[in-house]
């Protein structure tokens, strides 16, 4: 038989909780490194839903979407950490509120 033996809804609830934790972290934390970590958590929750859906229907497409999400996460985090270095050099702090004006 195909399909997950655990209900798909439970995986969806777990992914929603992980995504919400990441979203709250993104909005509450002001340290830019923690903001990047929250973004990783949110991307990871999305990937969990893709893989669970792929396992539910017994198809490989879910894992392919996971690989694309990994690519996006890697590109995003490399540019983001480059920005962290620039912000640290320019403002001597990692507080995002220092960088909320377009003209530094």
Partner 1 sequence: MMMETLFYIAAFVALFATLQALSRSNAIHALIYLIVSLLAVATMFFLMGAPFAAALEIVIYAGAIMVLFVFVIMMLNLGESGDLRERQWLQPKIWIVPAILASILLLELIAVEREFDGLTSGREVPPKEVGLALFGPYVLAVEIASLLLLAGLVGAYHLGRRFMDRNRGGRG
What 20-23 contacts at long range (C-beta under 8 Å, 24+ apart), as own/partner pairs, is none
Pair 35, 26: CB distance under 8 Å: yes
Q: Counting contacts by CB under 8 A, is residue 99 touching partner 1?
A: no
Q: Counting contacts by CB under 8 A, is residue 95 touching partner 1?
A: no
Q: How far is the CB of 104 from partner 1 (least distance, A)?
A: 14
Q: Counting contacts by CB under 8 A, is residue 22 touching partner 1?
A: yes
Please select the residue that binds partner 1; options are 12, 21, 46, 96, rule is CB under 8 A: 21
| Contacts with partner 1, 61-80, as mask; x by CB under 8 A | xxxx-xxx-xxxxxxxxxx-
What is the number of residues in the chain? Answer: 104
């Amino acid at each position: 038989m195909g399909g997950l033996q655990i209900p798909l809804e439970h995986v969806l609830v777990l992914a929603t909780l992980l995504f919400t934790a990441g979203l709250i972290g993104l909005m509450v934390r002001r340290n830019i490194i923690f903001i990047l970590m929250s973004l990783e958590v949110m991307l990871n929750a999305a990937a969990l839903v893709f893989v669970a859906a792929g396992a539910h229907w017994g198809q490989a497409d879910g894992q392919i979407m996971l690989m694309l999400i990994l690519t996006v996460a890697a590109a995003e985090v490399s540019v983001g950490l480059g920005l962290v270095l620039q912000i640290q050099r320019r403002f001597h702090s990692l507080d995002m509120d220092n960088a909320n004006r377009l003209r530094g």
